[in-house]
């Protein structure tokens, strides 16, 4: 093991988890009756996934229900073994050496399970710490520190069953940090939490990655959360990666560029269609222009390259059309994802080159 670890840390895969062509098949026995022989059926939960989780970064895995997110995270965390493919951590074969890997990782799931409800927060942490071989003053100090960073010092000696959902989730984070893992797998950590607690947890996740240089894999249903936290995003659908990149790259990939919204005040004898007709008639302007209806009334939406927006504004000024407001709009990641997942059956696209 030592030589393997040494070799691993010296090679280019040091400081990251690398998964190549991971496949996970489950054999499902179909129950068709008490005395009917069960039929075996192979379920391809994950078909072919290659990804990287570097230390100090937050890697997001997004997808709709049944996309294979949880199976992927469980494989990466060595809870389940892949059917085929390779998985390395710091260059070490993580499938063969799963106990070695388990010393260096931890997993946090959303929801209220995974804790002993009748034990207090401190007792829970002491128990899980002991499973990692921690004991004595060192463990006590670590527990005190973790309770402080998740802000549960005052509830340290209260049974977990008395905790709110947010407190349980914060304790789960403390449990996930008890072995000071290099990599942390977070499966929907803010699931069902109110916005205040969710924000606190997001700040903590960000701190763990940026300050403590932990490699974090985050799965979430909340696109805004991914947009706020993730340095790199993999989009899964039907057990495959259908797109990957930074959030900016994903937006660019699917031609979701910023656009300019212009609020104008037409003359008495003019309407929006006249203005657009005038703009489109200008030979120097080739942007797509349309009218959008928003809460504040109708506006002109100008897409295309941002450096040519000025020519539209100049034209409006030349035609003495009063511009009453301007704003630059950016697409939400959610819109991008909807488009990616919607298109996934038609074609597989990816940003060229992994920039991590």
Partner 1 sequence: MKKSLLVIKAEIFKQQRHDYHSAFIWFSLLVWPVLGFLEVYYSYKPFEFTGYMGMADGKELLAFLGTGYMAYTCFWSMVQNAWSMANQERKGGTLEITFLTPANRLAMCYGKALGALIQEVWMFCCFCVFILIYTGTIGFDNLIMLPFIFLLLIVSSTIWGGMLNTVFLFSRDASIIMDIFDTPMVLFSGSRIPVRSFPQWAKLLSLIFPLTYCINITRFVLNVQERKGWIGDMAGLAVCLGVMIVITLVLVRKAERHNRETGELQFY
**Closer residue to partner 1, CB minimum distance, 155 or 250:** 155
| Residue 126: CB minimum distance to partner 1, A | 7
The encoded tokens of residue 299 equal 């506006």
| Residue 330: CB minimum distance to partner 1, A | 39
DSSP per position, 115-157: S-TTSBHHHHHHHHHHHTT--HHHHHHHHHHHHHHTT-GGGTT
Binding segment for partner 1 (CB under 8 A), chosen from 96-104, 148-156, 239-247, 269-277, is 96-104
Contact 82, 23 (CB under 8 A): yes
Report the site for partner 1 in 26-55 (rule: CB under 8 A): 26-27
Query: How many chain residues are in contact with partner 1, going by CB under 8 A?
Result: 37
Structural element, H or E, at residue 238: none
Binding segment for partner 1 (CB under 8 A), chosen from 1-9, 132-140, 213-221, 285-293, is 132-140
Return phi, psi of residue 334, to 5°: -60, -45
Binding segment for partner 1 (CB under 8 A), chosen from 52-60, 100-108, 237-245, 262-270, is 100-108
Contact 105, 181 (CB under 8 A): yes
For the chain, the farthest-separated pair of C-alpha atoms sits apart, in whole angstroms, at 84
Name the nearest CA neighbour of 14 among 50, 60, 52: 52
| Residue 179: CB minimum distance to partner 1, A | 8
CA 246 vs. chain centroid, Å, equals 11
Q: Which of 64, 119, 197, 278 binds partner 1 (CB under 8 A)?
A: 119
Binding segment for partner 1 (CB under 8 A), chosen from 53-61, 70-78, 214-222, 251-259, is 70-78
Contact residues for partner 1, defined by CB under 8 A = 26-27, 71, 74, 77-81, 98-100, 102-103, 106-107, 109, 111, 113-119, 123, 126-128, 130-135, 175, 179
């Amino acid at each position: 093991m030592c030589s393997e670890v040494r070799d691993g840390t010296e090679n280019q895969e040091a400081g990251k988890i690398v998964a190549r062509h991971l496949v996970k098949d489950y054999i499902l026995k179909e129950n068709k009756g008490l005395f009917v022989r069960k039929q075996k059926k192979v379920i391809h939960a994950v078909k072919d996934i290659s990804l990287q989780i570097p230390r100090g970064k937050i890697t997001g895995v997004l997808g709709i229900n049944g996309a294979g997110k949880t199976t992927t995270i469980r494989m990466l965390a060595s809870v389940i073994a892949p059917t085929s493919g390779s998985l390395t951590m710091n260059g070490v074969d993580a499938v063969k050496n799963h106990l070695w890997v388990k010393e260096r990782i931890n997993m946090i799931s959303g929801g209220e399970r995974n804790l002993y409800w009748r034990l207090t927060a401190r007792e829970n942490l002491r128990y899980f710490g002991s499973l990692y071989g921690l004991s004595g003053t060192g463990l006590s100090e670590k527990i005190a520190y973790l309770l402080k960073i998740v802000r549960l010092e005052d509830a340290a000696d209260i049974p977990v069953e008395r905790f709110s959902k947010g407190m349980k989730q914060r304790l789960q984070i403390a449990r996930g940090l008890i072995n000071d893992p290099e990599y942390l797998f977070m499966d929907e950590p803010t699931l069902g939490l109110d916005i205040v607690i969710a924000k606190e947890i997001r700040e903590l996740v960000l701190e763990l990655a940026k300050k403590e240089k932990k490699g974090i894999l985050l799965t979430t249903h909340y696109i805004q959360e991914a947009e706020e936290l993730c340095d790199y995003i993999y989009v899964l659908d039907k057990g495959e990666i259908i797109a990957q990149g930074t959030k900016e790259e994903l937006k660019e990939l699917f031609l979701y560029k910023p656009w300019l919204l212009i609020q104008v005040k037409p003359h008495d004898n003019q309407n929006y269609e006249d203005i657009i007709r005038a703009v489109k008639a200008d030979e120097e302007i080739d942007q797509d222009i349309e009218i959008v209806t928003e809460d504040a009334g109708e506006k002109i939406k100008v897409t295309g390259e941002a450096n040519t927006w000025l020519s539209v504004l100049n034209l409006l000024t030349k035609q003495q059309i009063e511009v009453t407001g301007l704003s630059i709009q950016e697409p939400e990641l959610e819109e991008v994802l909807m488009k990616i997942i919607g298109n996934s059956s038609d074609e597989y696209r990816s940003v060229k080159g992994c920039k991590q």
